[in-house]
Amino acid sequence: MFVSENLNVNEKGHLTIGGADTVELAEQYDTPLYVMDEQTVRSACRRFKNSIDKYYGGQGLVCYASKAFSCLEMCRIVASEGLGLDAVSIGELYTAVKAGFDVSKIGFHGNNKTNEELEFAVDNKVGHIIVDNISELLRLEEIAKYRNAKPDIMFRIKPGIDAHTHDFVKTGQIDSKFGFALETGEAFEAVKQAIACENVNLMGLHCHIGSQIFDIDPFEEAAKVMLDFIAKIKNELNYEINGLNLGGGFGIKYLNEHDPAPLETYMERVSKVVKNTCSERGINQPYIFIEPGRSIAAPAGITLYTVGARKEIPNIRTYISIDGGMADSPRYILYKSEYEAIVANKANEERTEKVTIAGKCCESGDLIGENMPLQHAESGDIIAVYATGAYNYSMSSNYNRLQKPAVVFVNNGESRIAVKRETLDDIIRNDI
Ligand X SMILES: *Cc1c(COP(=O)(O)O)cnc(C)c1O
Query: Does residue 249 bind ligand X (CB under 6 A)?
Result: yes
Stretch that binds ligand X, among 97-105, 227-235, 263-271, 288-296 (CB under 6 A): 288-296
Rounded least distance, CB 158 to ligand X, Å: 12
Question: What are the CA-CA distances from residue 59 to residues 62, 87, 261, 353, 357 (Å)?
Answer: 10, 21, 22, 51, 46
Looking at 105, 109, 224, 331, which residue binds ligand X (CB under 6 A)? 109
Rounded least distance, CB 105 to ligand X, Å: 15
Rounded least distance, CB 196 to ligand X, Å: 26
Active site residue ranges:
362
Q: Total number of residues binding ligand X (CB under 6 A)?
A: 17
Which secondary structure element, helix H or strand E, spans residue 306, and what is its range?
A: strand 301-313
Rounded least distance, CB 109 to ligand X, Å: 5
Cα atoms found within 13 Å of the Cα of residue 403, Cβ hemisphere only: 18
Query: Does residue 247 bind ligand X (CB under 6 A)?
Result: yes
- DSSP bridge pairs for 180: 157
How far apart CA 77 and CA 65 sit, in angstroms, is: 13
Identify which of residues 29 and 393 has a Cβ nearer to ligand X in the complex. Answer: 393
* Residues in the chain, total: 432
- Residue 144 C-alpha from the chain's centroid: 29
Whether 351 contacts 357, CB under 8 Å: no
Q: Angle CA(97)–CA(99)–CA(101) in degrees, nearest 5?
A: 60
Query: Does residue 331 bind ligand X (CB under 6 A)?
Result: no
Query: Does residue 250 bind ligand X (CB under 6 A)?
Result: yes
Q: Which of residues 85-104 bind ligand X (CB under 6 A)?
A: 86
Looking at 32, 286, 293, 301, which residue binds ligand X (CB under 6 A)? 293
Rounded least distance, CB 161 to ligand X, Å: 14
The DSSP bridge pattern shows strands 128-131 and 152-158 to be parallel
Which residue in 142, 140, 141 sits closest to 113, CA to CA?
A: 140
Stretch that binds ligand X, among 45-53, 225-233, 289-297, 349-357 (CB under 6 A): 289-297
Identify which of residues 160 and 247 has a Cβ nearer to ligand X in the complex. Answer: 247
Which residue in 299, 262, 326 sits closest to 386, CA to CA?
A: 299
Q: In the β-sheet with 15-17, what is the strand arrangement from edge to edge?
A: 7-9, 15-17, 20-21
Rounded least distance, CB 18 to ligand X, Å: 21
Identify which of residues 14 and 109 has a Cβ nearer to ligand X in the complex. Answer: 109
Rounded to 10°, the helix 217-237/186-196 angle is 50
Query: Does residue 208 bind ligand X (CB under 6 A)?
Result: yes
How many CB atoms are closer than 10 A to CB 43? 18
Query: Does residue 294 bind ligand X (CB under 6 A)?
Result: yes
Q: Which of residues 345-384 bind ligand X (CB under 6 A)?
A: none
Stretch that binds ligand X, among 2-10, 138-146, 287-295, 412-420 (CB under 6 A): 287-295
Rounded least distance, CB 168 to ligand X, Å: 12
Query: Does residue 65 bind ligand X (CB under 6 A)?
Result: yes
DSSP string, 351-387: --EEEEEE-SSS-TT-EEEEEEEE----TT-EEEEES
How far apart CA 93 and CA 116 sit, in angstroms, is: 12
Query: Does residue 211 bind ligand X (CB under 6 A)?
Result: yes
Looking at 292, 330, 369, 389, which residue binds ligand X (CB under 6 A)? 292
Rounded least distance, CB 135 to ligand X, Å: 19
Which secondary structure element, helix H or strand E, spans residue 77, and what is its range?
A: helix 72-80
Query: Does residue 393 bind ligand X (CB under 6 A)?
Result: no
Query: Does residue 291 bind ligand X (CB under 6 A)?
Result: yes
Query: Does residue 165 bind ligand X (CB under 6 A)?
Result: no
Q: For the chain, how many helices (H) and strands (E)?
A: 12, 21
Stretch that binds ligand X, among 25-33, 65-73, 138-146, 263-271 (CB under 6 A): 65-73
Return residues touching ligand X (CB under 6 A): 65, 67-68, 86, 109, 208, 211, 247-250, 291-295, 390
